[in-house]
Every structure is written in structure tokens, then in C-alpha cells.
Structure 1
Amino acid sequence: MSAPSDAKHPPPLEHAASWYAASANAAPARPALSADVSCDVCVVGAGFTGLSSALHLAEKGLDVVVLEAARVGYGASGRNGGQIVNSYSRDMDVIEDKYGAETARALGDMAFEGNRIIRERIASYDIECDLRERNLFAACNARQLQGLKAHQALWRRYGHDQLELLEGKAYRREIGSDRYTGALVDHSGGHLHPLNLVLGEAAAFESLGGKIFEHSPVVSLVHGQTVTVKTADGRVHADRVVMAGNAYMSGVMPALEGKSMPCGTQIIATEPLGEDLARTLLPNDIAVEDCNYLLDYYRLTRDNRLIYGGGVNYGNAGPANIEAVIRPKMLKTFPQLKDVRVDYAWSGNFLMTLNRLPQFGVINDNVYYAQGYSGHGVTCTHLAGRLISEVMTGRDERFDAFAGLPHLPFPGGRLLRVPLSAMGAWYYETRDKLGI
């Protein structure tokens, strides 16, 4: 019998047609919420932020219910480039310049923690997600190479000394392309299958007694000493709530929507290349992102496909033909792939803030939120879950370091934020092309 499809019950959302979905580990189909339930904490969103929060809270003995509008990992957590990149979308020098040394030190002390949390989860719960070591930042011109040197010095100031600078053609040790002028290797970084990571974290949470309801989009919150979270067919009554929908949550917390903007990015996955060809591209199986404002990023999969992503579109409208957008970028880096077939092409949204730093906060003392990672979500989401569990159990200073960051609305409001952001991106993209 097919699922109902009407205004109250729209067709259920399934995973994007990505290589990740095609190669995902087996996972159970979870029911939609169809009753009234009560719990200590209700988490809205079963991506990295939501499940990191839920798992940390469950480990502390709290009764937690997770509501997901589609499937576990449906949004950015199950579609991204799969790169474990340390720090934030704005680094500590910018944070110190804008918000002061104390804030920079507080955030700097946590800048590499999300990476460690991911590895702890994989080890503790035996999550199979193709974890590989190391990632690399590639400079496309001399100015960017100087920026990487400054980046290495900056991270050393904050205790991170696992960066290796490759000047000139030394980067060819890692990348079989003539495109770059140098690179910076982070030996503590890595890459993985993000959908399998989030599915593994969901299973870990359920092993501790947690409950996940899929196909249960939230339609409203009723605030009070106990918060009622309403779906089409059920309600959750919780002492506290975590809103973790990120770019895939709209209408439930409108006060936050003017201070963030969904942005899309596109990814392709080639046919299996074979071991020999794959190793000419990335001899040591490293993950790469370049230093352009609208950056390219790529890595190999376990079956020797090249996953290649790049560009940003502002707002929710993506290109009709993803391969037509991304394939030329891939061939600029690896022209030797001109005859290679693309098997998968997909897009996904991430949430960007004006200052490119994540938004943490609390509403009415019992509705917490963490969102707006601005393209650096894989690691920071895992940190967010730990900090939410801390603030709910009596330790608030680390959460408050993020919650104290000011977040302004995008210029032009909801009507003009997309064209104005696109104009700004065009300016920086032009600078990158000119090497200035």
C-alpha cells in the first residue's frame, strides 16, 4: 500500500540520487511519529548536528527523541564532499580581529575538537565509513601560497603543528595536476563516507535507547516550560528542544532565517577509474580543496571513483545540469579524464551566515539551536553536539563562546540577499582568476 499524499501527508522524501546513497550501509526504515510522546530532549533533524547532540545526551543518560523530516542523513550530512577539515569557515585571525583575543582563544581551543570527536565515534561504535587520513589545501597562485604559509603559522599559534607546506612542484607528490603553485597538507585531517557516518551515529544512538522518527517534519513549536513539538500526526512534549535542521529547516524559527541563507553546491562522481588511473590523480589517496573563494574539492572513493565538487549557488535554485557545471572544473584540474563517464551527479544545501561563523543560541531558555556552518560543517557539527550536551548538563562557557558571536541579517533582506551575495562572489572569483 502506498503512502498517503495530500496537503497533510506529502510524498515521503528519500535520499538524493548520489553515490553515497547508492553505496550506503544497510539501515532500517524508521516509522513516522503518530502519537503523543514525552522525553527529556527532542532533537529536530537527524543530520550531524542533531545526532551528535542526541548521542552525547543519551550517553549522559537523558531520554532523547529525534524527529527527521525525511530520512536520516537526508540533508547536507549525507551529501557533502566527505572531507574532515579542521577549524571554521573563518579562521582565528579573522575572529581575533573582529571579536577580540578572548573570543579567538576560546574558539581556537575548540577548532580541532570536532575532528577528534568524529574519530572517537568511529572507534567507539565501530562505524564503517571508509575513513582515510589527511587532507590538503591547494594554492592556485602565488598570493594563495603566501596565504597558506600564514595559515600554517596561525594554526601553530593555536597548538596545531601537523601542517606540512609543499612549495612549488613539491605538491605533485600528492596531486597529479599542473594547476597549482603549492599546497598545505593537514596530517590530522581526512575524508570518509559521510552518509555512512551519520547512519552509524544513528545506530549508536538507538543502541542507547534513543528513538528516531523519520518522515516527521515539524510544523510548529508551542513554547512553554515544557515545549510541544508538533508534526502532522503526533506531538513530542519535551523539557528542552534542539533545532538542528540547518539549511533544511524553514518556517519553524522565522526569527533566525533573515540571519542565514541556504546555498547549494554540486558534486559529481565518475565511473570507477581503476587503481592505476586513480593513483595518477591522487597517489596517496588524500582529499583536496583549493584556496579559491568559490573553491573546488575532490577525493577518491573506496572503489576508485573521483568525487569532484565545486561552486556555490545562492538561495535554493540549483543548476538544471549539474554535470555541465562541474565537469569543466574537473577537466581543468585533470584533463586526462576527458573520456571518463560521470555516473552520479547531485546537489545539496548548506547554510551560510553573513560572518561565515556558526550560529549557536537558546530561545526561551529551553530551545537550543546550532546551524550556519558555512561550508565547514562536517567537523563543527560534531563539536556543536558536544557543546549542546554540555550546556544542558551544567557547563555553559564553551557553548556561550559561540552563542556570544553577533549575527547580522544579510544586506538587502530576504529579497536582495541572493543577488547581492552573488555579486560579492563574482568580485572574489575575479580576484582569484587574476591572482590578486
Structure 2
Amino acid sequence: MSQSVQAAASAAHAPSYYAASGLPQPERAPLRGSVEADVVVIGAGYTGLSSALHLAEAGFKVVVLEAAKVGWGASGRNGGQLVHSYSRDMDVIEARYGSTTAQALGSMAFEGAKIIRERIEKYQIDCHFKPGGMFAAITAKQVKQLERHKQLWERYGHQQLSLLDATESEVAIGTGRYRATLLDHSAGHMHPLRLAQGEAAAFESLGGVVHEGSPVLRIERGDPAVVHTAQGQVKARFVIVACNAYIGGLEPQLASRSMPCGTQVIATEPLGDRFPEILPTDYCVEDSNFLLDYFRLSGDRRLLYGGGVIYGARDPQHVESIIRPKLLKTFPQLKDVRIDYGWTGNFLLTLSRLPEVGRLSSNIYYSQGCSGHGVTFTHLIGRVLSEVIQGQANRFDAFANLPHYPFPGGRWFRVPLTALGAWYYDLRDKLQI
């Protein structure tokens, strides 16, 4: 068992605001003995839970195996923002892969957020959902980028966008830092761990089973496939590998094409009525830098502020020392605010910055590498994976046909080479070029 899987199997949730304010959870026993299912899903993050819930709704017998706890990884630690499309937007997809591929992926680019809203409403998930999200421009160049962004998404049928000038942006956010913002009325934000926990409960209400504390040791190919843990096994017609940044050594070919990266978030003390100018609209915000900052208010009016990337998924010892200076650039009036929580988590980066979706064999499917756009994409791909298992492969193939590239230099050089590229783009942001 790899070190990352061992850590997951023995760890509680990260010491985050989300873990401290999650939904009450039942005891979910580790897998023991041999069981049979139509589908076994490896990983109880958004990808796994979305897939499992769609399949359970279609009548499949599904077992989910989770190394730690539901939502333990990025699904329970992220910024909680619903952001459409992919980490590489439709113009890049058009240029690289042609109009046919772009049209296929573009037709799904705004579906993930709709699925999340549907799940929240259908299963009455109490995850503090609030509508509205903003992209913020710091430089004149970024203002032009927002204008092109609006035009691009409107060309793909997304019309719920408004461009705000500096004055309007300051009123909406409570800072004079931004020259313009693009408001997406169909975006939004929520408590990400509560969403995952609510989806697990919805899955279980339909007869689905989640085994926590059950890291997978190996997948035995065949029909049926057999997925082995330390204390049991699941025989299933289909397998979905949904581990993302925490796959460890389970499938080396998947690990070689991706790189775990760490990002950091802090949560302030509740602001109460002391700073009414901060996010009075209750929208979430992300800026337009390459290494972007993102922030929003929680349900109890804490400011949640995240940003920065640690390549290679090294946990920083002092999250607050990394993020507080970023927060104060945006909201200098919070110089004396107390930070109650600070945590880090891993997301999975691919070389193309597009997700990797495919088959390991005729009945073993995978999805990984959302590259920072995981909240909405994972919910979309869960539906798409359920479709291919039901014999509808068109939408799955649109993603599976994208090329999957290994990182140059292998495991030893992918971190420094990627970090060097990030340093270059971060310098461009700082120099406003």
C-alpha cells in the first residue's frame, strides 16, 4: 500500500472549517468478506459519489469503497465554488482539438452546476448553497480577458453573464482592488463537505452501500472484475476508479499522467455585522491571475479565502502565513481579524489541464485530473460514467478521445518543471504583462 493511501486510511478529516461544521454522519463499516455488485466505485469524493448516485437511481447495485471518510480529499476541502467549463476553456479546446471536439465538450460545459443544483433540491441537501459567482480583473489586460470570456461562453449558449465596471465591482465585493468583474448568475457556492455527505446519504437512501476505512490494494481484471481490500473483496461487472489526487500506487499508469498539487484555505472568525461592505451580495469571487485567489462568505459569515499552489502536494506548515497576506491585499480592513482555521488539500493536475477519462479494460473506467475545476466537472462526469455503463458511450467518448500526456521528466522532474512554468506565469501576473 502506498504512503498516500496509508495516510488516507488512518486519517480523520483535515482540520478545516468544513470538518468542524459538517453534517452528522453514520458509522460506515470497513468492507469485510466477499460481496457482489453490479458496479464497484473506488473513492467517495464527488466523482465517485456522483457516479454511484446516478447508477443507483438507474437501478444498479453499487458499492463504494473509500480509503478514509466520505469527502476526505479535495471534495471536502475545496473553495466551494461552482465554476463552469474546464481548466482549459473552449477557445483552447477549439484551437488544439478542432471544432467537433469543442462542440461536444461545449455542450456539456455548463451541465455540472445544473446537476449540483438538482441534487440539492431533489434530496434537500443542507449545504448552505448561495447563487452567483464573479471573475475579477486586477489589470487592464485581465479586463480584456473577461470581455473575451463573456463572448466565448455566450457563443456556447451561456447567457447568464453581466460585466461590471470598477465601481459596480467595489459595491458588490467590498474592495477597490478590481478594475472589472464578470458576474455569472448561474454560478454559486456551498459547503463542499456537506454536499458530499448529503450525496452519500442520498445514495444510501436508494440502497447503495459505502464502506469507509477500506483502501483498495489491487484491481483484478476480468469479467467480473474483483476489487481487493485488506479485509475483503467486491466482485462486480463494472469498476469506476475515482481516486484523483489520492490514487497513490493503485494504478501506476494513471499516476504517471498526473501530479498532485496542494492549495490552501483559511477561515476567519465570524465577521458578524462589523464589515457590512464585504460581499454584501454573498457572491463568491475568484481573480484572473494564473495562480489565482478565491474567496466567499460561509453560512455563518466567515470569510473563506484560498489561493496558492504547492507543486508536488507538500503540506505547508503555516497555511495562515501563506494566505493572510493575500487576504489583506484584497481586504486591508481585516488586518486584525482572527483566523480560526487553516488547511490544505490536494487536487490533481494534468499536463493538458484537461480531465483524463477512459478505460483501463473493457469494464474498468476512470476519471481524474480536473486541474482545479473539479466541483462541477466531477458531477458532470459522474452522469457520463453512468451513461457509458448503461451502453450510451457518445459523451464518454468525447472525453476519452482527448490525448493523455505523461509529464516530461517522469516523477523526479515533473514537480520542478511545472513549478518553473508556474513561476513564469506568476511573474507575468505581477508585472502585468
Q: Considering the TM-score relative to the shorter chain, is it more than 0.5?
A: yes
Q: Structure 1, residues 108-128: CA drift from partner, whole Å, max 9, x if none?
A: 000000000001111111111
Task: Give the deviation of 1:167 after TM superposition.
Answer: 2.2
Q: 1:334 aligns with which of 331, 349, 355?
A: 331
Give the superposed CA RMSD: 1.3
**C-alpha distance in 2 between matches for 1:140 and 1:322:** 24
Map of 1:193 onto structure 2: 191
Task: Give the deviation of 1:168 after TM superposition.
Answer: 2.9
AA at the equivalent of 2:374: G
Map of 1:417 onto structure 2: 414
5+ residue gaps in structure 2? none
Task: Give the deviation of 1:290 after TM superposition.
Answer: 0.2
**C-alpha distance in 1 between matches for 2:303 and 2:313:** 26
Following TM superposition, the consecutive aligned residue runs of length 4 or more in structure 1 with deviations greater than 3 angstroms are 7-11
Map of 1:282 onto structure 2: 279
AA at the equivalent of 1:416: F
What SS does structure 1 have at the residue aligned with 2:217? strand
Q: Give 1:4-403 correspondences, 5 Å limit.
A: 12-277=10-275, 279-403=276-400
Assess, with a 3 A threshold, how the Cα gap between structure 1 residues 8 and 389 changes in structure 2: closer, same or farther: closer
- Equivalent pair of 1:269/1:305 in contact (CA under 8 Å): yes
Q: Structure 1, residues 98-145: CA drift from partner, whole Å, max 9, x if none?
A: 000000000000000000000111111111100001000000100001
- Equivalent pair of 1:9/1:232 in contact (CA under 8 Å): no
- Equivalent pair of 1:88/1:111 in contact (CA under 8 Å): yes
Task: Give the deviation of 1:8 after TM superposition.
Answer: 9.1
- Equivalent pair of 2:70/2:200 in contact (CA under 8 Å): yes
- Equivalent pair of 2:354/2:370 in contact (CA under 8 Å): yes
**C-alpha distance in 1 between matches for 2:75 and 2:214:** 18
- Equivalent pair of 1:263/1:349 in contact (CA under 8 Å): yes
AA at the equivalent of 2:338: R
What SS does structure 1 have at the residue aligned with 2:158? coil
**C-alpha distance in 1 between matches for 2:49 and 2:71:** 9
AA at the equivalent of 2:284: A
Aligned residues: 429
Task: Give the deviation of 1:285 after TM superposition.
Answer: 0.6
Q: TM-score, normalised by structure 1?
A: 0.97
Q: 1:431 aligns with which of 425, 428, 431?
A: 428
Q: Among the aligned pairs, what percent are the same residue?
A: 60
Task: Give the deviation of 1:147 after TM superposition.
Answer: 0.2
Q: Structure 1, residues 375-413: CA drift from partner, whole Å, max 9, x if none?
A: 000000000100000001011000100000001111211
**C-alpha distance in 2 between matches for 1:10 and 1:172:** 42
What SS does structure 1 have at the residue aligned with 2:173? coil
- Equivalent pair of 2:166/2:179 in contact (CA under 8 Å): yes
- Equivalent pair of 1:45/1:245 in contact (CA under 8 Å): yes
**C-alpha distance in 2 between matches for 1:129 and 1:32:** 26
Assess, with a 3 A threshold, how the Cα gap between structure 1 residues 9 and 271 changes in structure 2: closer, same or farther: closer
- Equivalent pair of 1:13/1:215 in contact (CA under 8 Å): no
**C-alpha distance in 1 between matches for 2:336 and 2:202:** 42
**C-alpha distance in 1 between matches for 2:253 and 2:267:** 37
**C-alpha distance in 2 between matches for 1:409 and 1:424:** 16
**C-alpha distance in 2 between matches for 1:62 and 1:282:** 43
